Structure 1
């Protein structure tokens, strides 16, 4: 007899959606330990414990790529991660304290123009919250699969329209996300393969430049620059992806 929870049961018990659990499986974060005779996913106690740890790490502010490293990489350093999270919390507390001071001052002033107060408050926090790089591809689905297989990036969402065409894709590189966007004439968005020129370049920090380079060579990637130590303090190699975007993989030289 198969024991454990089916995906719907686990979703209901944890408050997550079935789609989220399927996505965790897709990116290798949580793989069900078994299947029922009918082929349904079955999550055992160890899977549930791992999911609990995923939730804890997410509440620390980690993205999914970092969570996966925390759970699977023996070299992952919790001290470094916690120090970074503490710094982010301190910055947030400082911004909150400044915001409180402004609000208290506005109340004490009495009769201050509300628009002027709100305008001043908005300057406490920068409007930009996160940078998201966008690359344009003629075939978003093929691009995502290629980047995951050849460069070892983590897959994110892949959204298709009613005709099955991929209209949005994502890959994760370290703590950053890269959006994959289809060509669109209205906004003059075109793939390098269409225009015949490199239109964007991406730099990704990796643990071992030479090992990553060997992986790319073995996968048949078009490497245009072999690993080399640059004067600006990084060891770098560069390669083109399937549609001609230029990627550089680098690490600071000790």
Structure 2
């Protein structure tokens, strides 16, 4: 198959140079069927279109979020995938990193001016701040995002906010009203809520869980009392653990396990 001259396209080397994704990685994506070029020219060279570039962006974003390659194809083929929402979330993360970089730049400017003027040496607080910001920028691992699967996304979103006291985030819907993404927060921790679909099942459907969400709270007993009053299903009453926390467990209506703990004095 050939591609018309009117359609913008890139050979594999040009795409690699423009995106920073290696030619080897692009060949591997093609080999496993994750990203195959839409066309080839008369010489048989791979030609990637704008649609392919969009798919590559989605692949790179999902890899940044920690998805393994074998799961990415399921997410990409999900008809409820919302590219605008993904770009917005990517923008928020990039803005956060830009703010850290700007703060570090300002701090280093003050330190450099002090040293150049021979007036004073940078204080320990300045050094601590610079080290913290450097670590936040340089670490290859910056944060974690938990993703939980639900059959009824709006009901689950309402439940964990009302019963567990989590901070509500956005609940995104398609034009026909179908919920396709939900977010809640536990402090700085973001928890995403994804609709069940091909390759993604709610614990209620599976008949068991393979993980749990653990959240640190100020007072496990007070949080337990609040949750019970709101109708929580408790699977473990508050108990002192030998690893230094007091902890209780709960199960939400679709079978996800939640544990809440606070440090022992």
For Structure 1 versus Structure 2, the TM-score category normalised by the shorter chain is: 0.5 to 0.7
Residue 132 of structure 2 is aligned to residue 91 of structure 1: yes
Report deviation, 1:193: 1.1
In structure 2, what is the equivalent of residue 224 of structure 1?
A: 235
Distance in 2 between the 1:84 and 1:194 partners? Answer: 52
Distance in 1 between the 2:254 and 2:231 partners? Answer: 14
Report deviation, 1:85: 11
The correspondence for 1:156, drawn from 149, 159, 169, is 169
In structure 2, what is the equivalent of residue 22 of structure 1?
A: none
SS in 2 for 1:198: coil
If the length of structure 1 is used for normalisation, what is the TM-score?
Answer: 0.52
The 3 A distance-change label for structure 1 pair 161 and 235 is same
Does the aligned pair in 2 maintain the 1:135–1:180 contact within 8 Å? yes
Residue 182 of structure 2 is aligned to residue 169 of structure 1: yes
Report deviation, 1:142: 1.1
Report deviation, 1:220: 1.6
SS in 2 for 1:231: coil
SS in 2 for 1:143: helix
The 3 A distance-change label for structure 1 pair 162 and 218 is same
Does the aligned pair in 2 maintain the 1:206–1:249 contact within 8 Å? yes
The 3 A distance-change label for structure 1 pair 193 and 89 is farther
The 3 A distance-change label for structure 1 pair 60 and 253 is farther
Does the aligned pair in 2 maintain the 1:60–1:85 contact within 8 Å? no
If the length of structure 2 is used for normalisation, what is the TM-score?
Answer: 0.50
The 3 A distance-change label for structure 1 pair 158 and 92 is same
Does the aligned pair in 2 maintain the 1:191–1:199 contact within 8 Å? no
- 1:102-158 per-position Cα deviation (integer Å, ceiling 9, x unaligned): xxxxxxxxxxxxxxxxxxxxxxx3433221110001111111111000000000111
Give the alignment's Cα RMSD to 1 decimal: 2.7
Instruction: Give 1:1-254 correspondences, 5 Å limit.
Output: 87=128, 89-93=130-134, 125-185=138-198, 188-254=199-265
Distance in 2 between the 1:89 and 1:135 partners? Answer: 35
Residue correspondences, number: 145
The 3 A distance-change label for structure 1 pair 148 and 95 is closer
Unaligned 5+ runs, structure 1: 1-58, 62-82, 97-124
